[in-house]
Amino acid sequence: MASYDDDDGARHGVRAAAVSAKGWGWRHSGRAAQAVHDLELEIAPGERVLLLGPSGAGKSTLLHALAGVLGADQDAAESGLLTVDGEHPAARRGHAGLMQQDPEAQVVLSRIGDDVAFGAENLAVDRDEIWRRVGGALDAVGLDFPLDHPTSALSGGQKQRLGLAGILAMQPGLLLLDEPTANLDPAGVLEVRDAVIRMLDRTGATMVVVEHRVAVWVDVVDRIVVLAPGDRGHGAQARRMLTEAGVWVPGYLPATRPRDGGSGTPPGGSPGIPPGGDVGGSI
């Protein structure tokens, strides 16, 4: 697990968050079935988790719940218990920063300095402190532009890093990434991944990332958790997603084996996930 030093976190104003789900479920308004059902999950402060699962498994629902931004429609129904630092996520809103997959959707203002300051302003941070944070956040994500540089002139990867800087300026203890590289070219993917790592190294924040590009993240997370509906078909889809990405799934032997035989690496193995290592569990 990534180390987290309390004194270092205090210098950056960040306290890594703990996440707990006990039998938690959510049914969206107008839907008969639950998007997430009976979830059991514990994430320690400072832990970095890659959340996988097929479409419809409820990954985005869980991230939005942790950010405290799930709709409060009358027909929606929540069950069980989901907490961030022991409180309902809605009570900790602002303590979690959520990044989504569309770079364009995350740009709200025309100049990069104003855009990065936006979230901290909404948290009523002192003005002088806001601009100190803005400079530090832009430096942390590697965006070396004047504060009045137009956001419209940024590439997709730069816009995602801009969004990450805005989250960093809010100093969240929980970073939630919902397919942050889905719409980026290969260079942009690495830009964003590396900026996230720098942010986590700087703050010690807890991270949960949803991403289908498993190979991009597998070497920088502490654990992989698979979120899957209970039916057999979706479970097989989640297992296939892992094995095709080169992640060894305990108890599963692929139908084909390498012709040269015993290299000592489990079938579908990955140097980032050693045999017997923790690759999370099916939830």
**Is 100:106 a contact under the CB 8 Å cutoff?**
yes
**Is 252:239 a contact under the CB 8 Å cutoff?**
yes
pLDDT at 98 over 70: yes
pLDDT confidence of residue 92: 87
Domain boundaries, given as residue ranges, for the chain = 14-244
Q: Which residues contact 191 (CB under 8 A, 6 or more apart)?
A: 142, 157, 158, 160, 161, 184
**Is 21:208 a contact under the CB 8 Å cutoff?**
no
Q: CA dihedral in degrees (100, 103, 108, 114; nearest 10)?
A: 110
What span, in angstroms and rounded, lies between the C-alpha atoms of 153 and 167?
20
Predicted TM-score of the model (pTM) = 0.77
Mean pLDDT (the chain, rounded): 80
**Is 76:61 a contact under the CB 8 Å cutoff?**
no
**Range picked from 2-6, 63-67, 121-125, 258-262 for highest mean pLDDT:** 63-67
| pLDDT tens track for 228-273 | 765 444 556 667 766 766 666 666 665 554 545 444 444 444 433 3
Q: Which of these ranges, 58-67, 73-82, 187-196, has the smallest mean pLDDT?
A: 73-82
| pLDDT tens track for 16-37 | 999 999 999 998 887 888 889 8
pLDDT confidence of residue 255: 56
Q: What are φ and ψ of residue 61, in 5° steps?
A: -60, -45
pLDDT at 116 over 90: yes
CATH architecture of 14-244: 3-Layer(aba) Sandwich (3.40)
pLDDT confidence of residue 31: 81
pLDDT confidence of residue 221: 95
What span, in angstroms and rounded, lies between the C-alpha atoms of 227 and 251?
18
Query: Which of 128, 130, 200 shows the shortest CA–CA distance to 164?
Result: 200
Q: Largest Cα–Cα distance of the chain, in whole Å?
A: 64
- Secondary structure class of 275 (helix, strand, coil): coil
E strands, the chain, in order: 19-27, 36-43, 48-52, 77-84, 96-99, 174-178, 206-210, 223-226
Question: How do 77-84 and 19-27 pair as beta strands?
Answer: antiparallel
